Structure 1
Amino acid sequence: MQLTLDMPELKRLSQPTPNLLAYNLIVICRSAGKDGLALLVYVTEQIPEQGYRGRVVILHNEPGVLSNACSI
């Protein structure tokens, strides 16, 4: 007996993987949402797989909050 499942996430995994070794610096922008977290998890999984040894910066942006340096 063979079980067949329709799993769209498997199609996503078959997409080309970005070559992290082409970059000296990777900046990941986060705003505490699920998309930013998913990207962070994906990149941190790719770092050891690809042997990336450059810098990774996570830039946190809190939507709706202005910096003290901003004047309105």
Structure 2
Amino acid sequence: MFKWEQLHQYGILIIVLEENNEAKWIIALGDDFYYDQNTMEPPVGDILLYEAALEDNEVIPLQYQKE
């Protein structure tokens, strides 16, 4: 769990979650991500989660789920 103060947004594409003032996780929109706010259609494309590490960085694709 991360508190609101631990979340930092960089533009519209990346969110960084910090722990002890160090980046721990990154959430990013993939190159193919698209969302049209003028329709009821769900977003398409990739939302990616990965650990903030320089090496052995496995990307975890996230799935959209309707509420």
- TM-score tier (shorter): under 0.3
TM-score (norm 1): 0.21
Decide which structure has the larger Cα Rg and report it.
1
Greater relative CO, 1 or 2 (CA 8 Å, sep 6+):
1
TM-score (norm 2): 0.21
